[in-house]
Structure 1
Amino acid sequence: MTEDMIEDIEVESTIPRALVILAEGAEEAEAVIVVDILRRGGIDVVFAGLNGDGPVLCGRKMKLLPDIALSAVTGHFQAIVLPGGAEGARRLASSEAVGERLRHAVTDGLVVGAICAAPLALQAHHVFAGKSMTCHPSVASRIAMYGNLVQKPVVEDGQLVTSQGLGTAFLFGLTLVRRIMGDVRAADVERGLTLPR
């Protein structure tokens, strides 16, 4: 192995990584927006299919192609992100593989992001109980029984970042970039998005 190859490996290993888990029935626009913004922020995003690496049929009947099956994912991450969608959230909540990832994330101090109905998976896997969080209005009554429900577009409490839904996905993604990469990078990404003021 040459010195150049070793340097390339060392550089790659220092790039922050985020794991985004895609389940059947997920809200596809949330998933795509978050992955896009994280990648614009210079984060190495692993887009993992909950049940394999084949096309995933999402909530609005669009098919998204994951990079890899969740079962094949290895390595260390700085963040784990759960897109929403009612059916996608239900599948995330019922997956022991997701539960194991979340419990390790809590122990290891990773940033954990959940948007729309995905905070239901936090409840199902018994992580972040009592923390301040937000969610889609359709599941607010259930989340209010588990955490401190805050009606804001994005809520941060320690390592947990939650958001309300598709309309808040850009802000959610930017918040994750800020948490992982810092204020300057997040501001750079935001400028390029030409978001309405």
Structure 2
Amino acid sequence: MRDMEDFWVFGYGSLMWKPGFAFEERQIARAYGYRRSLCIRSWVHRGTREKPGLVLGLDRGGSCKGVAFRVSKAEREAVIAYLRERELVTNVYLERFAQARLADGRWVRTLIYVADPTHEQFERPSSPEEAADIVASAVGASGDNLDYVRNTVTHMRELGIRDHWLESVLHHADGLTSRVSGR
């Protein structure tokens, strides 16, 4: 049975629109047991140690709509190596498997990267306003934290994926930056 041999990867952030690996199939999917969250303190790409930003992770509980990619058996090991290099730089993410339901109704086992709540970079903001305060002013080597959140929300909407909490963070952060700039 082919489904038993299929290898799927679940993306919930930039992996959704910029996977960086070859795949044979891509579908909107919902992973269970985790939810998308701005729960990772970014010390390099979207902030600094002195003024960390926030980037996405999967936090425990609920479910998350994202994209599942089916990878060929021949590409499996190369894709895993690539993802480990991309996602496990500071070990703030844990490699796990989770069940996901594809848009066509199939259930598949997916490789996912979830936030490690015991890691020093893990932080769960209490509200969209608290997250927005952090996002609005953090800048790192890859640019403004606000641009990261805006880009994420824009790409998710293009895929037909809504995340009301993340959209609320963007709304509040945009409000903070427009007050500061006088717009």
- Normalising to structure 2: TM-score of the pair? 0.30
The higher relative CO (CA closer than 8 Å, separation ≥ 6) is in 2
Q: More strand by proportion, 1 or 2? A: 2
